[in-house]
Amino acid sequence: MPAEANSRVVSGFLDYLKVEKGLAPLTVSAYATDIGQFSVFLEKHKRTLLNAQRSEVRNFIQELFANSVDGRSVGRKLSALRHLYRYLLLDKLIDHDPTLNIDSPKQWKVLPKSLAHDEVESVLRGPQRVSGPLADAISARDRAMLEVFYAGALRVSEIVGVKLEDLKLDLGYVLVRGKGDKERIVPLGKSAQESLASYMKGARPVLAKGRSSPLLFLGRGARKLTRQRVWQMVQAASAGMGRHASPHMLRHSCATHMVENGADLRTVQTILGHSDISTTQVYTHVALDRLKTVYQKHHPRAKAR
């Protein structure tokens, strides 16, 4: 059992700190807390302290930052892990140190929060509403917006500003005006195209109520949607999974999942509308982790004989 294995490792390390190093009880207690937190993280992923990989140390640190743990505290926890794995190497309980080449917290770029694939599927189903012509129209609009958020990694300001003339549904893309009024072409997948087609055919006319508007997504009576209303819609759509999602999380989920599936950073940069590739490089570690996994799987001499 991972929990039992971790408990034995931590117990031996703490004894080493007290007896061999002569550290004060408060210091030993701090080590116990920090390493215990990493142990719990590993146990959720069916791993132990003895078989942890560098990617898991990185993911642990990423989770700390995502939960707003300050850099100083993260640095202390990383230091505790470095001491632990130095001890395990000296005792020959492991043959590699997973904390090697981990950036210090000062150099760490925080990867924005993203959703797991099953969480995205849950959100894309949209918020539950009572049935009726208007409610059905709003549901169709919301599903189309959610699909476009995830398909094209749009910002809230971009999606509320998309015009009818910007949508090229037959060609499978939408023209988006981003920061600084810069335009970019964003491709739309089949699922997004189908949701948009359904919205355009039946829901948008109901919401427009005979009034004209240049905007693609409308509120009741052809009103322009506010940013706050869109945020509320995304939060309502995520309520069923017990986690509050945001439009920005859908944007970053799109980028993360693309990189995980092999997209290069230049392509992701173009879709996100980043003017500088350095902004997109926050996703680099996702690409490196995938590269390592593919290498281990396919290179004939990657595995120890």
Active site residues: 155, 179, 248, 251, 274, 283
Share of the chain above pLDDT 90, in %: 50
| Contact between 277 and 266 (Cβ < 8 Å) | yes
Model pLDDT for residues 183-202, shown as the tens digit of each residue? 999 999 999 999 999 999 99
- Domains in the chain with CATH codes: 2-107 (1.10.150.130), 117-289 (1.10.443.10)
Task: Give the lowest-confidence range in 61-65, 204-208, 280-284.
Answer: 280-284
User: How many Cβ atoms from other residues are within 10 Å of residue 51's Cβ?
Assistant: 13
Output the DSSP codes for 116-171.
-HHHHHHHHT------SHHHHHHHHHHHHHHHHHHHHT--HHHHHH-BGGGEETTT
> What is the dihedral sign for C-alpha 188, 194, 197, 198?
negative
Using CB atoms within 10 Å of the CB of residue 38, give its burial: 0 to 12 exposed, 13 to 18 middle, 19+ buried: buried
Phi/psi at 139 (5° precision): -60, -40
Mean pLDDT of 266-292: 78
Tokens standing for 279? 């902004």
Give the β-pairing of 173-177 and 183-187: antiparallel
- Running DSSP on this structure, what letter comes out for residue 94? -
pLDDT in tens, 93-140: 999 999 988 877 665 555 667 888 889 999 998 777 778 889 999 999
Which has the higher per-residue pLDDT, 247 or 243?
247
CB count within 10 Å of CB 274 equals 19
Q: Length of the chain in residues, anyone?
A: 305
Judged against a pLDDT cut of 60, whether residue 257 lies above it is answered with yes
Q: Is the pLDDT of residue 287 over 70?
A: no
Who wins on pLDDT, 276 or 223?
Answer: 223
* pLDDT tier for residue 262 given thresholds of 50, 70 and 90: confident
Model pTM above 0.85 = no
- What pLDDT does residue 109 have? 57
Q: Quick check: 77 and 112 in contact, CB under 8 A?
A: no
pLDDT at 304 over 60: no
- Indicate the average pLDDT of the chain: 87
Joined tokens for residue 66: 């995502």
**From CA 256, how far away is CA 258, in angstroms rounded?**
5
Helical segments of the chain, H only = 2-15, 25-44, 54-66, 71-90, 117-124, 133-152, 156-161, 190-198, 204-208, 227-238, 247-260, 265-272, 277-280, 284-298
Banded model confidence at residue 40, pLDDT cuts 50, 70, 90: very high
Residue 291 is predicted with a pLDDT of 66
